[in-house]
Structure 1
Amino acid sequence: MNWLTNFVRPKIQQLVRPREVPENLWDKCPACEHMIFHRELEKNLRVCPHCGHHMRLGLKARLELLFDGGAYKRIELPKVAEDPLKFKDLKTYQSRLKEARSKTGETDGIIVASGQINGQDVVVAAFDFSFMGGSMGMAVGEGLVAAAELSVVQDSPLLVIPASGGARMQEGILSLMQMARSTVAVERVKEHGLPYIVLLTDPTTGGVTASFAMLGDIQIAEPGALIGFAGARVIENTIREKLPEGFQSAEYLRDHGMVDMVVRRHDLKETLGRLLGLLRNRGPVGEVVTLPRRGAEADSAGRSKGAEILPPPAPDA
């Protein structure tokens, strides 16, 4: 045995050989192009610490962010017919579904859950963009209907969080029908006097935008989110005009009245909790004092002798 060849050389090579570094340790911000260490990015809720750009956040991470203590209860969604049109393009629809389910661990692109946000009961229907681009097919339509029914049964507000490229083309007209079904489901929630809030995330486009996503009592969006129906290039080719800078961004839509609020991801939970509290508890929290009659005398406490102090109304009054 050659001691130098078999023992010393491998030890030296082990010391000087370059170590393999995993490629997923760093992320590049698409806005400012800074490189961000992946742990720092996840700790900052996937918001660039340099420019504040909001990158896409995973569905389960978003639910854990919004619900108190990250705790929520999912409901099982109704089963639907798979591949009703026997659709095939470059791949069969069945194979695309199989790939998406293997990648995400979910049966389709929506999760319906109930829990509390800042102590307020709420039902949440959230889209998973990583599942075939969050496209809306029959399963997603059934999920939205189930969320609306659960909201009515539990007497809880409904929060919908879309992240979608639109209707799922592999289901044809059946996917387009979900636009009407989801709209009817939302109207049922409103008929029962329950708040309906939409949190628009990047991207929200196509048939989703053209239906339930724009019907919220309050429309909230994350900074920089792409929100629209058709793509900007399609619109420019149709109207033969150059679109304004930032067209279809959350900030542009807020400035033009289509979105009520643009809220940073770090402030979403507090903002939603405050809104839910205001919408659900509309009565005053203190005493109600009737206005004094003109010319009435005041007592030692400064109140008019004709004033009447009424107890605060019940929260559901």
Structure 2
Amino acid sequence: MLKDFFNKKRRYATVPPERQQPASMNEGVMTKCPSCKTIVYTKELRKHQMVCMNCQHHMPITAPERIEGLFDEGTFSEINTYLVSSDPLGFPDYMKKVEQDKKKTDLHEAVVTGKGTIDSHPVVAGVMDSRFRMGSMGSVVGEKIARAIEEAAADGVPFVMFSSSGGARMQEGVLSLMQMAKTSAALKKLDREGLLFISIMTHPTTGGVSASFASLGDYNFAEPGALIGFAGRRIIEQTIRQELPEDFQTAEFLLKHGQLDDVISRTDMREKLSAILAIHRT
């Protein structure tokens, strides 16, 4: 393993700013787990899909990394790639920040949609990336997800969605909120076709995304430790004037209270999805 010390290939940090470790750790040969503080080889951690081998803490990954670890090699084909945001409200510096995120992530928007196979099972999928405007759902994100759902209905295949979002994109105002209805309506059409929708919520899935398509799956799953909820903890506590449980709005809390079907480790996700797709394959 000493050879890893001589691998100087740049490692790009994928963790949102509030959870980042020093860049020297994230972008180098070694990575420090933010949960158990264990220092491990970044190369080995990536082989384990950024799940700590010591404590099983799930670190954020990019949309391309998730796609690579989930789909059969060479089968994923992106759709609606070049849809890009406009600035309908003339919000100060909005387009400047969008352009910065494009360069930072090498993505056009906060979601990647496409077709592929998971263990030979054909699906249409959407994968959100929290590095792009914190995965917020603006007009383009909602449109890409709705089109992907319609593509699944046209092809007669299941739709799989990985959510990672801070909620609706405030810079687009009510147009962003309209995406909640648009995506939900598209899913209703998919349901009328008798087709499967599997929703997987990752850290974080909050706001308008959690209150719309992310919670409408035939199966609703989440990764361990994922923050899932609509309003923030502080707002809820101030509203109800009660202290909330320590694990409130975690995936495990939601599973315990019947709002999820299962909490699945990232390293087991492909196998579990394959089993479900096999059961529902027509």
Return the TM-score normalized by structure 1.
0.78
Listed as ranges, the gaps of 5+ residues in structure 2 are: 1-23
Amino acid at match of 2:180: M
Q: In structure 2, what is the equivalent of residue 48 of structure 1?
A: 52
Residues in 2 aligned to 1:185 and 1:195: alpha-carbon distance in whole angstroms = 13
Note the C-alpha offset of 1:24.
Answer: 2.6
Note the C-alpha offset of 1:79.
Answer: 3.7
Q: In structure 2, what is the equivalent of residue 194 of structure 1?
A: 195
CA separation of 1:104 and 1:214: change in aligned 2, threshold 3 A? same
Residues in 1 aligned to 2:27 and 2:68: alpha-carbon distance in whole angstroms = 27
Q: Larger relative CO (CA 8 A, sep 6+): 1 or 2?
A: 2
1:200–1:213: 8 Å Cα contact kept in structure 2?
Answer: yes
Note the C-alpha offset of 1:27.
Answer: 1.9
| Percent identity of paired positions between Structure 1 and Structure 2 | 44
Note the C-alpha offset of 1:38.
Answer: 1.2
Q: The residue matched to 1:133 in structure 2 has which SS?
A: helix
1:48–1:54: 8 Å Cα contact kept in structure 2?
Answer: yes
Q: The residue matched to 2:44 in structure 1 has which SS?
A: helix
Note the C-alpha offset of 1:26.
Answer: 2.3
CA separation of 1:80 and 1:102: change in aligned 2, threshold 3 A? closer
1:59 aligns with 2:45: no
- Paired residues in the alignment total 259
1:249 aligns with 2:253: no
Q: In structure 1, what is the equivalent of residue 119 of structure 2?
A: 118
Note the C-alpha offset of 1:32.
Answer: 1.0
Note the C-alpha offset of 1:71.
Answer: 2.9
Note the C-alpha offset of 1:81.
Answer: 5.7
Q: In structure 1, what is the equivalent of residue 151 of structure 2?
A: 150
2:82–2:108: 8 Å Cα contact kept in structure 1?
Answer: no
CA offsets per residue over residues 111-153 of structure 1, 9 Å max, x none?
Answer: 1111111111100011111111000000001101110111011
Q: Aligned match of 1:84 in 81, 88, 93?
A: 88
Q: In structure 2, what is the equivalent of residue 36 of structure 1?
A: 40
Q: In structure 1, what is the equivalent of residue 224 of structure 2?
A: 223
Note the C-alpha offset of 1:70.
Answer: 5.2
Residues in 2 aligned to 1:167 and 1:219: alpha-carbon distance in whole angstroms = 20
1:78–1:143: 8 Å Cα contact kept in structure 2?
Answer: no
Q: The residue matched to 2:220 in structure 1 has which SS?
A: strand
CA offsets per residue over residues 254-276 of structure 1, 9 Å max, x none?
Answer: 11100101111111001001101
Q: In structure 2, what is the equivalent of residue 267 of structure 1?
A: 268
2:91–2:171: 8 Å Cα contact kept in structure 1?
Answer: yes
Q: The residue matched to 1:46 in structure 2 has which SS?
A: coil
Residues in 2 aligned to 1:184 and 1:87: alpha-carbon distance in whole angstroms = 28
Q: Map of 1:127-166 to 2, 5 A cutoff?
A: 127-166=128-167
Residues in 2 aligned to 1:22 and 1:80: alpha-carbon distance in whole angstroms = 29
Q: Aligned match of 1:68 in 65, 72, 76?
A: 72
Q: The residue matched to 1:161 in structure 2 has which SS?
A: strand
2:83–2:108: 8 Å Cα contact kept in structure 1?
Answer: no
CA separation of 1:251 and 1:115: change in aligned 2, threshold 3 A? same
Task: Provide the alpha-carbon RMSD of the alignment.
Answer: 1.7
Q: In structure 2, what is the equivalent of residue 178 of structure 1?
A: 179
Residues in 1 aligned to 2:242 and 2:26: alpha-carbon distance in whole angstroms = 46
Q: In structure 1, what is the equivalent of residue 15 of structure 2?
A: none
CA offsets per residue over residues 41-98 of structure 1, 9 Å max, x none?
Answer: 112110111111111111111011111125301112574660010001xxx1110011
Runs of 4+ in structure 1 off by over 3 angstroms are 20-23, 77-81
Note the C-alpha offset of 1:278.
Answer: 0.9
Note the C-alpha offset of 1:23.
Answer: 6.2
CA separation of 1:22 and 1:250: change in aligned 2, threshold 3 A? closer
Q: The residue matched to 2:31 in structure 1 has which SS?
A: strand
Q: Aligned match of 1:25 in 18, 24, 29?
A: 29
Residues in 1 aligned to 2:232 and 2:247: alpha-carbon distance in whole angstroms = 13
1:64–1:71: 8 Å Cα contact kept in structure 2?
Answer: no
Return the TM-score normalized by structure 2.
0.88
1:167 aligns with 2:171: no
Residues in 2 aligned to 1:183 and 1:164: alpha-carbon distance in whole angstroms = 16
Residues in 1 aligned to 2:108 and 2:158: alpha-carbon distance in whole angstroms = 25
1:206–1:230: 8 Å Cα contact kept in structure 2?
Answer: yes
2:113–2:124: 8 Å Cα contact kept in structure 1?
Answer: yes
Q: The residue matched to 1:207 in structure 2 has which SS?
A: helix
Amino acid at match of 1:117: I
CA separation of 1:22 and 1:144: change in aligned 2, threshold 3 A? closer
